[in-house]
């Protein structure tokens, strides 16, 4: 069974200065601690147990930011183990929290 993403209604307090009026990231934080909060927040848009294509991941990320660097966000999600992917980038899926 595929779970629905658990998206918080309110963005974390640490991210609010980086959000526009629609709640999208308008700027990526410089501090790693705030980036990690941002990646955790972004990862909530992905359902556990579901596979995504690279295009679907990009579309989800494009809906959450305005600065045009979905590749950096996708890479951050994978590098910090919020998402996993096949070596060829054809499939992505959300990692279990205990696997991070």
What are the pLDDT digits (tens) for 10-63?
889 999 999 999 999 999 999 999 999 999 999 999 999 999 999 999 999 999
State the pLDDT at residue 38.
97
Cβ(14)–Cβ(53) under 8 Å?
no
State the pLDDT at residue 7.
56
Among residues 63, 51, 58, 41, the alpha carbon closest in space to that of 92 is found at 51
Contacts 24+ apart (CB under 8 A), 6-15: 6/44, 7/44, 7/45, 8/41, 8/44, 11/41, 12/37, 12/40, 12/41, 15/41
pLDDT above 60: residue 100:
no
Mean pLDDT, rounded, for 74-100: 91
Q: Which residues contact 2 (CB under 8 A, 6 or more apart)?
A: 47, 48, 49, 50
- pLDDT-based confidence at residue 97 (cuts at 50, 70, 90): confident
pLDDT above 90: residue 2:
no
State the pLDDT at residue 31.
97
- Where do the domains of the chain lie, and which CATH numbers do they carry? 21-99 (1.10.10)
**Whole-structure pTM value:** 0.87
pLDDT above 70: residue 1:
no
């Amino acid at each position: 069974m595929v779970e629905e993403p658990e998206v918080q209604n309110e963005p974390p307090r640490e991210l609010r200065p980086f959000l526009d009026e629609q709640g999208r990231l308008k700027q990526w934080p410089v501090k790693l601690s705030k980036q990690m909060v941002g990646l955790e927040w972004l990862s909530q848009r992905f359902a556990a147990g579901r596979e995504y294509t690279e295009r679907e991941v990009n579309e989800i990320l494009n809906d959450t930011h305005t600065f045009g660097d979905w590749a950096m966000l996708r890479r951050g999600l994978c590098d910090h183990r919020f998402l996993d992917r096949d070596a060829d980038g054809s499939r992505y899926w959300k990692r279990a929290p205990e696997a991070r």
